[in-house]
Structure 1
Amino acid sequence: MSCPDCGGDFVSFPVPSDLQQFLPGDAPGASVCRACLALHPETEPPAAVPDLTELDGAIPDADGAAVPLVLLVGLLDSLAMHREEITALLERIEREGVDPLLALDRLDASYGEAAHVDLGRRRQQLEQLL
């Protein structure tokens, strides 16, 4: 299946039960587009989380930070609607020893205008939100 937003390929991954609340619907996993970082629910994810650092090397390789960061990016299309979830994910990423704003800077540098949201602008808005 290809991304409906840009036609790119997906990377599918299971979402741990403690992060399921951050996914729309009740899908057990998610897929992220390699080209634009759009997030979509995945009803049949693989059993293990793949190496998400393959997304242009901008995703941190910290074990507990990669999936929350990808979920965070997927929710950035609407800060107002997802404010509570975004705040919780930012805190979770920080607890894993990763600076989420620096990670967004790196994603912005890697994806730029190809990303499904303006990551640079969203980063500034997140800074104000915090």
Structure 2
Amino acid sequence: MIELDWETDRTEGVTLISATVANALTTPQLVRIESRIDGPLWSPDREQHPAPEWTDGRWEGVVKPTQCRGVGFASPSVPSDPADPPLEVTETRRVSSDQSAATTDVLASLPNWRPTLNILGRQR
């Protein structure tokens, strides 16, 4: 189960939204979160580059089993109802925990080697 806790703070004409996404499941989950506030969304910037989890006003990231992640953004818009959540989880799906490389990738990375004919039991 994915849980979302949030809080808002309106200061100097800007609404600051902070949230915690918790994964109570035993498998990693890819989580997508979208803003429910009408108006522009300002995602965090890292040295003038948007945070990599933010695309087109949506946050998408992996939350490891029994772990939490923090999410935050700002908006000049005022939430329509302070009791309503300013964001929502719109999609979750299990992320494969298999980190092994595909067989074709492993074979492609091997050097081009052939056994000698006597190992194969053939003679010329």
Q: Same fold (TM over 0.5)?
A: no
TM-score, normalised relative to structure 1? 0.24
Higher relative contact order, structure no. (Cα contacts within 8 Å, ≥ 6 residues apart):
2
Q: Which has the higher strand share?
A: 2
What TM-score does the superposition give when structure 2 sets the normalisation length? 0.25
